[in-house]
Chain A
Amino acid sequence: MIDTFYGLMRRQGITRRSFLKYCSLTAASLGFGPAYAQQIARALETKPRMPVVWLHGLECTCCTESFIRSAHPLAKDVILSMISLDFDDTIMAAAGDQAIAALEDTITKYKGNYILAVEGNPPLNEDGMFCMPRGKPFVEKLKHVAKDCKAIVAWGSCASWGCVQAAKPNPTQAVPIDKVITDKPIVKVPGCPPIAEVMSAVVTFIAAFDRIPELDRQGRPKMFYSQRVHDKCYRRPHFDAGQFVEQWDDFGARAGYCLYKVGCKGPTTYNACSSTRWNESLSFPIGSGHGCFGCSEPDFWDKGSFYDRLTNIKAFGVEANADQVGAVVGGLAGAAIVAHAAVGAIQRAATRSKTNAVAPTTKAGGE
């Protein structure tokens, strides 16, 4: 618990010399001359922590729960040292009138300079009263707080796309933030929830660099959402080799084969799960045997069953469904026979797996 970014770095054992070096590098990376390093250093030493107001609409609080899982930086350090979380229903001490007073105080005092983080979304049906904190439509509160903010961070798939309450038939007419706030920069951080370290990285990036990160056309930070889960998946070689889990807990499941045939949406999902991973890079859905169901993609609830196979995956510029992709890749490698061998191995393994024992060493790789 200290008051500036510099203080935080010092507490983490970073020397003043290293701190100044960091400032020089930052200045250089932003394209500024060495003179700016001094300015950056002074800003980080003396600048008040960035005020953040965190609102909750229709949601399940999974984004907050994910955020507090952040390990680098620790959620504690983000909340108490890097930003000033002046309003957040979920963790703040004050309630009722005192909570609202804290909110109003911040948005007045830091007019134009606070960040609005939104978890969940506003429903528009029933005059907005399907979400009515303080007896008023949430959408009004959202507009009121958004009016003087510097930028908005839309946490999770609710705020970014609509998510589960907006799945068909969307009884409350819940809408993403950008449908009701159109005059502010919005950083979408989708996922249900987003990865903890992705969330803390977005917040600390804004705090440290005083700008929002580079976004793609859909408003997502490129640094985490520009590649598909499939692109960096450690099971990808099995996909390319045509080695698939055919059924839950079969030989392929126990050998870590590709989950495409049991519905994995990794090939069409843009997220950092297979690279940054979850809970201190410990695992991700595919790593624990379940396919990705694309929770960071718009309308992922309405794209058929999570266990339906994707069709029409694009890979290597080849328009082919994935059943053929393994063969295609095998062919490119000049060994079409590999795919055949692999399929044979899967079939053998599938038979063996019925005994519920892990099959002995097999030439499943087709080496």
Chain B
Amino acid sequence: MSVIETQGFRLDNSGKRVVVDPITRIEGHLRVEVNLDKDNVIRNAVSTGTMWRGLEVILQGRDPRDAWAFVERICGVCTGTHALASVRAVEDALNIKIPDNANIVRNLMHATLYAHDHLVHFYHLHALDWVDVVSALKADPKRTSELAQSISSWPMSSPGYYRDLQNRLKKFVESGQLGPFKNGYWGHPAYKLPAEANLMAVGHYLEALDFQKEIVKVQTIFGGKNPHPNWLVGGVPCSFNLDGVGAVGAINMERLNLVSKIIDDTIAFIDNVYIPDLLAIASFYKDWGAIGGGISSQNLLCYGEFPDIANDDGSKSLLMPRGAILGGNLKEIHPVSLKDVNLIQEHVNHSWYKYADETKGLHPWDGVTEPSFVLGKGTKGTKTDIKNLDESAKYSWVKSPRFKGQPMEVGPLARYVMYYAMGVPEFKEPVDMVLKKLDVPVQALFSTLGRTAARGLEASWAAHKMKYFFNKLMTNLKNGNLATANVDSWEPRTWPAEAKGAGYCEAPRGALGHWIKIRNTKIDNYQCIVPTTWNAGPRDAKNQIGAYEASLMNTKVAKADEPLEIIRTIHSFDPCLACATHVISPEGEEVTRVTVR
């Protein structure tokens, strides 16, 4: 039993240990252990990534132009983010400039992901933390209709619509086969919505499930499929042909019209369903504006995204700015460079990897990852049947990245706080609108609720930006600019013997970086630091805790054996563990010491 003071938190692991594994409704595999005091307040939190794939080592020796396809498979939920970071890293290394249209199409595809990913997160991964499905059976359909019509002009809102939905829900529950709703926390005291709001939300859960498949079609048109659309070093693989021979085999007027329609429908759904639901649900959970803040009021990091000018990641170009906030000083935005080897480093003191000297962190260009699955002495259970982990030793497949030695929160909340602090109107004004509507102070941003609200506002921002990018694309096409690829450096024989580059991406879940070294036309080293690594990572040598662990601290849970409050806060980050836990090896490292046991 020990007590550790860090970052204003007092970690005390003396109370009752509770394990939540698997954390469901996330991407990948995550485990959380907490210690509860006698009042059921979380006094210690332990976040453990429970999978590792080793993709970077698989990339060694391969063609850099292929890398995007490998790393895209890091994650099928935030599909395309890793591919985008990868083509940027290769283009940075080889000094390849992409055509304006390619930049716009990439922005459009990426904004599509933001809209889709946030919508699916809210309804299908997060909503059941706030919405009691079984309570919806008690709702009055007429009053549900009145509620729906009072918050939105969305047409699917008649009393008959909700009566029919409720009848179907009733039959479903009566069948006794509850499927994905089986063993949910229905009736838990932490659920606060009236029955009518629950019924409305169940309706929108289903509508959103139908609608999300429409949004991604933008990626299908430009990238051929979704999930995992195609990308290209030097541009994008699709070509434009508006009215020439063979236009039916390229991006033509019919395709562009479809993109335009999808964008309009996406804006309509997000602004008329997602945002009103978010505000309606949040109004019953205002107390969560003071829970789950973690380090969000302290350290925030953004790499920036959506270059408005092709091949320019400067402050004039990035529509989502780059920067960092440290120590809660919102008045100072620190510059961020992915290439500064002293700025961003990864530590493995509490991760199942080995460094020669673990007192120091390593920049990804020089990173080392040698798996070392060793459990601490305080572990309960056996090596292959772990009951409780020992957080004083190594306890996660996720590393601990640090910015200037500090743990950082990344993601929608980091962006909205930073851009609010910078006073960027298109981010600040919606935040002020939400704060006013909910009648909560600005401090409420630093919370579980703040994270969830920021994500919703960002989905709307991204949907409207899709329109902006589409209009820019049409302007180029009208001016006769059809180019989508720069092939000057396509052939490896044109490359220098050695090159290295960094690719940034601000993914829906936060700052994402890829680092590549190329030698003799092949990948010599490839490293990624992904958003969930920042958020979910374990402690460092100084026992500083990361965003997940900090966010759970001091939360009171109503029932020790039902982890509703825990998953609420963890879900507010939108975890992506397949992303977080694949990071591995660098140059010269022996990684194929692999034997089948």
Q: A residues touching B (Cβ–Cβ < 8 Å)? A: 1-3, 7, 11, 48-49, 51, 56, 58-66, 68-71, 74-76, 79-80, 83-86, 88-102, 105, 123-137, 140, 163-165, 167-174, 192-193, 196, 234-235, 247-249, 253-257, 273, 278-280, 282-290, 293, 295, 301, 305-307, 356-362, 364
Closest to B202 in A: A1
Within 8 A of A (CB), among B22-77: 22-29, 31, 50-55, 57-58, 62-63, 65-66, 69-70, 73-77
Identify which of B212-220, B426-434, B435-443, B550-558 touches chain A: B212-220
* Contact of B53 (CB < 8 Å), options: A63, A172, A293: A172
Q: Determine the residue in chain A with the shortest Cβ distance to B240.
A: A254
* Residues on A with beta carbons closer than 8 Å to the beta carbon of B20: 95-96
A135 to B375, alpha carbons, bound, how many Å? 12
- A58 (CB) vs chain B CBs: closest residue: B53
Task: Please name 20 further chain A to chain B contacts, defined as beta carbons within 8 Å, in addition to the given A64-B76, A234-B249, sorted by A numbering.
Answer: A69-B226, A69-B227, A74-B210, A79-B179, A93-B25, A93-B182, A96-B563, A98-B562, A126-B373, A126-B597, A127-B383, A131-B50, A171-B591, A173-B596, A248-B485, A249-B484, A249-B485, A279-B225, A282-B221, A356-B481
| 24 A-B pairs whose Cβ atoms sit less than 8 Å apart in the complex | A3-B175, A61-B28, A69-B226, A69-B227, A70-B213, A79-B180, A86-B177, A91-B25, A92-B181, A93-B133, A96-B20, A96-B563, A125-B597, A127-B383, A135-B31, A163-B73, A165-B54, A172-B54, A248-B235, A280-B217, A301-B70, A305-B66, A356-B482, A357-B480
Interface residues of B in 171-187 (CB under 8 A from A): 171-172, 174-175, 177-185
- A289 interface neighbour in B21, B172, B242, B250, Cβ under 8 Å: B250
Contact B209 A98 (CB under 8 A): no
Do B225 and A285 touch across chains, with their CB atoms under 8 A apart? Answer: yes
Smallest Cβ-Cβ distance to A301: which chain B residue: B70
A59–B578 CB distance below 8 A: yes
Taking the nearest CB of chain A, how far is it from the CB of B96, in angstroms? Answer: 12
CB distance from A130 to the nearest CB of B (A): 5
Known contacts A91-B180, A255-B249; decide if A249 and B487 are in contact (CB<8 Å): yes
How far is A85 from B247 in the complex, measured between Cα atoms in Å?
43
Task: Assess the B490–A247 pair: CB atoms within 8 A.
Answer: yes
Residues of A within 8 A of B335 (CB): none
Q: How far is the CA of A7 from the CA of B177 in the complex (A)?
A: 15
**Would you give the shortest CB distance from B485 to chain A, in whole angstroms?**
4
Q: Select which of A62, A101, A169, A287 is within 8 A of B592 by beta carbon.
A: A169
Closest Cβ–Cβ distance, residue A324 to chain B (whole Å): 24
| Neighbouring B residues of A95 by C-beta, 8 Å | 20, 22-25, 563, 567
In the complex, the answer to whether B183 meets A89 with C-beta atoms within 8 Å is no
Contact partners of A134 in chain B: CB under 8 A: 21-22, 31
Q: Is the CB of B485 within 8 A of A80?
A: no
Residues of A within 8 A of B4 (CB): none
> DSSP majority for the B interface?
loop
CB <8 Å contact, B124 and A91:
yes
Evaluate contact between B385 and A289: CB separation under 8 angstroms. no
Tell me whether A90 and B27 are in contact (CB under 8 A): yes
What A residues does B226 contact at CB under 8 A?
69, 278-279
Interface residues of B in 235-263 (CB under 8 A from A): 235, 237-242, 244-251, 258
Contact A254 B239 (CB under 8 A): yes
Residue with the greatest number of chain A CB neighbours at <10 A, chosen from B75, B226, B227, B578: B227
Closest approach, in angstroms, between the C-beta of A104 and any C-beta of chain B? 10
Known: A283-B220, A356-B483, A359-B244. A60 touches B24 (CB 8 A): no
Residue of A nearest to B27 (CB): A61
Contact A93 B228 (CB under 8 A): no
Q: Shortest beta-carbon distance, A91 to chain B, in Å? A: 5
Given A135-B381, A254-B240, does the pair A125, B595 have CB atoms closer than 8 Å? yes
Q: Report the minimal beta-carbon distance from A139 to chain B, rounded to whole angstroms.
A: 10
Q: A residues within 8 A CB of B480?
A: 357
On whether the beta carbons of B22 and A1 are closer than 8 Å, the reply is: no
Give B28's nearest chain A residue, CB to CB: A61
Give the complex CA separation of A172 and B31 in angstroms.
Answer: 20
Chain B residue contacts of A7, Cβ below 8 A: 171
Docked Cα-Cα span, A288 to B236, in Å, equals: 10
Nearest CB of chain A from residue B101's CB, rounded to whole Å: 9
A residues less than 8 Å from B228 (CB atoms): 62, 192-193, 295
Interface residues of B (CB under 8 A from A): 19-29, 31, 50-55, 57-58, 62-63, 65-66, 69-70, 73-77, 79, 120, 124-125, 128, 133, 165, 168-169, 171-172, 174-175, 177-185, 206, 209-210, 212-213, 216-217, 220-230, 232, 234-235, 237-242, 244-251, 258, 371, 373, 381, 383-387, 389, 397, 480-485, 487, 490, 561-563, 567, 578, 584, 591-592, 594-597
Expressed in whole angstroms, the Cα–Cα distance for A307 and B69 within the complex equals 12
- Looking at the complex, which one of A80, A290, A359 makes contact with B172 (CB distance below 8 Å)? A80
- B58 in contact with A169 (CB, 8 Å): yes
- Bound complex: CA A193 to CA B79 (Å): 11
* Residues of A with C-beta under 8 A to B125: 90-91
Closest to B248 in A: A256
Residues of A within 8 A of B490 (CB): 247-248
Q: Are A56 and B29 in contact (CB under 8 A)?
A: yes
- A235→B175 CA distance, assembly (Å): 49
Of A163, A170, A248, A282, chain B has the most CB atoms within 10 Å of the CB of: A248
Alpha-carbon separation in the docked complex, A287 to B250 (Å): 7
Are A170 and B248 touching (Cβ within 8 A)?
no
Asked if residues A94 and B185 are in contact (CB atoms below 8 Å), the reply is: yes
Are A307's CB and B52's CB within 8 A?
Answer: no
Closest to A365 in B: B245
Question: How far apart are the CA atoms of A76 and B206 in the complex, in Å?
Answer: 7
Closest to B237 in A: A290
- In the assembled complex, how far is the CB of residue B95 from the closest CB belonging to chain A, in whole angstroms? 18
Q: CA A68 – CA B594 in complex, angstroms?
A: 36
Q: A1-B169, A3-B171 are in contact. Are A71 and B58 (CB under 8 A)?
A: no
Given contacts A60-B578, A94-B24, A172-B53, A305 and B594 within 8 Å (CB-CB): no
